[in-house]
Amino acid sequence: MDLTHPVRAVVPSLDGPVLTVLAGLAAPLSGREIARLVGTASPAGVQRVLTRLVAEGVVRAERRRNAVYYTANREHLAWPAVEVLAGLRRELLRRITDQVARWSVPVRTAAVFGSLARGEGDVHSDVDVLLVHADGLGEDQAATWEGQVDALVSAVEAWTGNPAQPYAVSVQHLREHVEAGEPIVQSWRREAITLVGRDVAALLRDVAR
Protein backbone atom coordinates (compact mmCIF):
# COMPACT_ATOMS: atom_id res chain seq x y z
CA MET A 1 0.00 0.00 0.00
CA ASP A 2 1.21 3.50 -0.81
CA LEU A 3 1.75 4.94 2.67
CA THR A 4 1.53 8.51 1.37
CA HIS A 5 -1.73 8.01 -0.53
CA PRO A 6 -3.27 4.69 0.65
CA VAL A 7 -6.29 5.29 -1.60
CA ARG A 8 -4.07 4.35 -4.56
CA ALA A 9 -4.49 0.73 -3.47
CA VAL A 10 -7.94 0.89 -5.07
CA VAL A 11 -7.85 4.10 -7.13
CA PRO A 12 -4.37 4.12 -8.72
CA SER A 13 -4.94 7.29 -10.76
CA LEU A 14 -4.55 10.88 -9.56
CA ASP A 15 -8.26 10.82 -8.69
CA GLY A 16 -7.43 9.01 -5.43
CA PRO A 17 -5.14 11.66 -3.89
CA VAL A 18 -7.44 14.45 -5.06
CA LEU A 19 -10.45 12.78 -3.43
CA THR A 20 -8.43 12.26 -0.24
CA VAL A 21 -7.67 15.99 -0.06
CA LEU A 22 -11.30 16.88 -0.75
CA ALA A 23 -12.47 14.50 1.98
CA GLY A 24 -10.41 16.41 4.53
CA LEU A 25 -11.48 19.92 3.53
CA ALA A 26 -13.50 22.05 5.92
CA ALA A 27 -13.89 24.90 3.41
CA PRO A 28 -13.79 25.29 -0.39
CA LEU A 29 -10.37 25.56 -2.03
CA SER A 30 -9.19 26.51 -5.49
CA GLY A 31 -7.73 23.94 -7.85
CA ARG A 32 -4.24 25.35 -7.32
CA GLU A 33 -4.57 25.06 -3.55
CA ILE A 34 -5.79 21.47 -3.88
CA ALA A 35 -2.82 20.68 -6.13
CA ARG A 36 -0.48 22.05 -3.46
CA LEU A 37 -2.03 19.76 -0.85
CA VAL A 38 -1.84 16.73 -3.16
CA GLY A 39 1.84 17.53 -3.57
CA THR A 40 2.66 14.90 -6.20
CA ALA A 41 0.99 16.24 -9.33
CA SER A 42 0.90 19.32 -11.54
CA PRO A 43 -1.88 21.90 -11.16
CA ALA A 44 -2.98 21.05 -14.72
CA GLY A 45 -3.30 17.36 -13.86
CA VAL A 46 -5.27 18.09 -10.70
CA GLN A 47 -7.51 20.47 -12.66
CA ARG A 48 -8.36 17.73 -15.17
CA VAL A 49 -9.33 15.41 -12.33
CA LEU A 50 -11.47 18.08 -10.67
CA THR A 51 -13.26 18.81 -13.94
CA ARG A 52 -14.06 15.10 -14.35
CA LEU A 53 -15.23 14.73 -10.74
CA VAL A 54 -17.49 17.76 -11.10
CA ALA A 55 -19.00 16.18 -14.23
CA GLU A 56 -19.63 12.99 -12.22
CA GLY A 57 -21.30 15.02 -9.48
CA VAL A 58 -18.89 13.87 -6.77
CA VAL A 59 -17.42 17.36 -6.45
CA ARG A 60 -19.13 20.76 -6.44
CA ALA A 61 -17.61 23.82 -8.14
CA GLU A 62 -18.33 27.47 -7.38
CA ARG A 63 -16.88 30.39 -9.32
CA ARG A 64 -15.68 33.30 -7.23
CA ARG A 65 -14.18 36.25 -9.12
CA ASN A 66 -11.26 34.83 -11.10
CA ALA A 67 -11.08 31.36 -9.55
CA VAL A 68 -13.21 28.26 -9.15
CA TYR A 69 -13.50 26.74 -5.67
CA TYR A 70 -14.19 23.07 -5.04
CA THR A 71 -15.87 21.09 -2.27
CA ALA A 72 -16.87 17.46 -1.84
CA ASN A 73 -20.49 16.57 -2.55
CA ARG A 74 -21.08 14.47 0.54
CA GLU A 75 -24.65 13.76 -0.53
CA HIS A 76 -23.46 11.81 -3.59
CA LEU A 77 -24.21 8.09 -3.52
CA ALA A 78 -20.51 7.31 -4.04
CA TRP A 79 -19.25 9.52 -1.23
CA PRO A 80 -19.41 6.92 1.60
CA ALA A 81 -17.00 4.77 -0.45
CA VAL A 82 -14.70 7.77 -0.86
CA GLU A 83 -14.71 8.33 2.92
CA VAL A 84 -13.68 4.72 3.51
CA LEU A 85 -10.82 4.94 1.00
CA ALA A 86 -9.67 8.34 2.25
CA GLY A 87 -9.49 6.97 5.80
CA LEU A 88 -7.28 3.93 5.11
CA ARG A 89 -4.29 5.33 7.01
CA ARG A 90 -6.48 6.11 10.00
CA GLU A 91 -7.99 2.62 9.79
CA LEU A 92 -4.54 1.03 9.80
CA LEU A 93 -3.58 2.93 12.96
CA ARG A 94 -6.88 1.89 14.57
CA ARG A 95 -6.31 -1.78 13.78
CA ILE A 96 -2.76 -1.74 15.15
CA THR A 97 -4.04 -0.02 18.30
CA ASP A 98 -6.87 -2.49 18.78
CA GLN A 99 -4.64 -5.54 18.37
CA VAL A 100 -1.87 -4.31 20.66
CA ALA A 101 -4.34 -3.14 23.33
CA ARG A 102 -5.57 -6.74 23.69
CA TRP A 103 -2.15 -8.29 24.30
CA SER A 104 -1.91 -10.51 27.38
CA VAL A 105 1.67 -9.32 27.95
CA PRO A 106 1.01 -5.58 27.80
CA VAL A 107 3.12 -2.90 26.20
CA ARG A 108 4.42 0.07 28.13
CA THR A 109 4.29 1.99 24.87
CA ALA A 110 3.32 1.18 21.30
CA ALA A 111 3.90 3.75 18.56
CA VAL A 112 4.44 4.02 14.83
CA PHE A 113 7.32 6.01 13.39
CA GLY A 114 9.12 6.37 10.07
CA SER A 115 7.31 6.90 6.79
CA LEU A 116 3.88 5.93 8.12
CA ALA A 117 4.09 8.48 10.93
CA ARG A 118 5.34 11.16 8.55
CA GLY A 119 2.64 10.45 5.98
CA GLU A 120 5.29 9.53 3.43
CA GLY A 121 6.51 6.35 1.77
CA ASP A 122 5.28 4.13 -1.00
CA VAL A 123 4.29 0.52 -1.64
CA HIS A 124 7.80 -0.65 -0.72
CA SER A 125 8.02 1.25 2.59
CA ASP A 126 8.15 -0.56 5.92
CA VAL A 127 5.52 -0.04 8.59
CA ASP A 128 7.78 0.79 11.55
CA VAL A 129 6.38 0.03 15.00
CA LEU A 130 8.05 0.72 18.35
CA LEU A 131 6.95 -1.77 21.04
CA VAL A 132 8.26 -1.31 24.60
CA HIS A 133 7.67 -3.93 27.30
CA ALA A 134 8.44 -3.99 31.01
CA ASP A 135 11.79 -5.22 32.27
CA GLY A 136 12.23 -8.70 33.67
CA LEU A 137 9.82 -10.79 31.63
CA GLY A 138 9.83 -14.43 32.63
CA GLU A 139 10.46 -17.19 30.11
CA ASP A 140 6.77 -17.81 29.46
CA GLN A 141 6.01 -14.09 29.19
CA ALA A 142 8.91 -13.58 26.80
CA ALA A 143 7.63 -16.38 24.56
CA THR A 144 4.13 -14.92 24.63
CA TRP A 145 5.53 -11.47 23.83
CA GLU A 146 7.39 -12.79 20.80
CA GLY A 147 4.24 -14.53 19.59
CA GLN A 148 2.27 -11.30 19.94
CA VAL A 149 4.84 -9.36 17.94
CA ASP A 150 4.93 -12.02 15.22
CA ALA A 151 1.13 -11.96 14.99
CA LEU A 152 1.17 -8.17 14.61
CA VAL A 153 3.77 -8.39 11.83
CA SER A 154 1.61 -10.90 9.95
CA ALA A 155 -1.52 -8.80 10.45
CA VAL A 156 0.07 -5.54 9.25
CA GLU A 157 1.43 -7.23 6.15
CA ALA A 158 -2.01 -8.73 5.42
CA TRP A 159 -3.73 -5.37 5.94
CA THR A 160 -1.34 -3.34 3.76
CA GLY A 161 0.93 -5.54 1.67
CA ASN A 162 3.86 -3.65 3.21
CA PRO A 163 6.58 -5.31 5.29
CA ALA A 164 6.17 -4.61 8.99
CA GLN A 165 9.31 -3.71 10.95
CA PRO A 166 8.81 -4.03 14.71
CA TYR A 167 11.35 -2.46 17.06
CA ALA A 168 10.63 -4.40 20.26
CA VAL A 169 12.64 -3.44 23.34
CA SER A 170 12.45 -3.51 27.12
CA VAL A 171 12.45 -0.30 29.13
CA GLN A 172 16.10 -0.98 30.05
CA HIS A 173 17.10 -1.45 26.43
CA LEU A 174 15.29 1.76 25.58
CA ARG A 175 17.32 3.53 28.28
CA GLU A 176 20.53 2.12 26.79
CA HIS A 177 19.57 3.47 23.35
CA VAL A 178 18.98 6.91 24.85
CA GLU A 179 22.23 6.90 26.81
CA ALA A 180 24.18 5.81 23.72
CA GLY A 181 22.63 8.59 21.64
CA GLU A 182 21.35 6.19 18.99
CA PRO A 183 20.06 8.07 15.90
CA ILE A 184 16.79 6.14 15.99
CA VAL A 185 15.95 7.81 19.32
CA GLN A 186 15.78 11.19 17.57
CA SER A 187 13.38 9.66 15.06
CA TRP A 188 11.13 8.50 17.91
CA ARG A 189 11.24 11.92 19.56
CA ARG A 190 10.58 13.79 16.34
CA GLU A 191 7.86 11.79 14.62
CA ALA A 192 6.49 8.86 16.65
CA ILE A 193 2.71 8.62 17.00
CA THR A 194 1.80 6.93 20.28
CA LEU A 195 -1.01 4.39 19.91
CA VAL A 196 -1.08 2.52 23.23
CA GLY A 197 0.37 3.23 26.66
CA ARG A 198 2.70 6.00 27.78
CA ASP A 199 3.44 8.78 25.35
CA VAL A 200 6.77 8.13 23.59
CA ALA A 201 8.21 11.57 24.34
CA ALA A 202 7.33 11.25 28.04
CA LEU A 203 8.77 7.74 28.26
CA LEU A 204 12.02 8.86 26.63
CA ARG A 205 12.29 11.72 29.13
CA ASP A 206 11.71 9.29 32.00
CA VAL A 207 14.42 6.85 30.94
CA ALA A 208 16.90 9.68 30.31
CA ARG A 209 16.81 10.77 33.97
Q: Pick the closest to residue 16 from 48, 59, 49 (CA basis).
A: 49
Range(s) of the chain covered by CATH 3.30.460.10: 88-208
Q: How far is CA 42 from CA 5, 32, 47, 126, 200, in A?
A: 16, 9, 9, 27, 37
- The reported pLDDT for the residue numbered 8 is 65
Alpha helices in 39-138 (DSSP H): 43-56, 79-86, 88-101, 115-118
The tens digit of pLDDT for each residue in 15-49 reads 888 999 999 998 999 999 999 999 878 899 999 99
Q: Pick the closest to residue 72 from 1, 120, 15, 7 (CA basis).
A: 15
Residues of the chain above pLDDT 70, percent: 98
The answer to whether 38 and 18 are in contact (CB under 8 A) is: yes
pTM (2 d.p.): 0.83
What mean pLDDT value characterizes the chain?
A: 92
Kindly report the CATH number that applies to the domain delimited by 88-208: 3.30.460.10
> Structurally, what CATH architecture does the domain formed by 6-85 represent?
Orthogonal Bundle (1.10)
Residues of the chain above pLDDT 90, percent: 76
Rounded average pLDDT over 180-190: 93
Range(s) of the chain covered by CATH 1.10.10.10: 6-85
Non-local CB neighbours of 51 within 8 Å, separated by 6+ positions: none
Residues 9, 70: Cα–Cα separation, whole Å:
24
Rounded average pLDDT over 67-81: 94
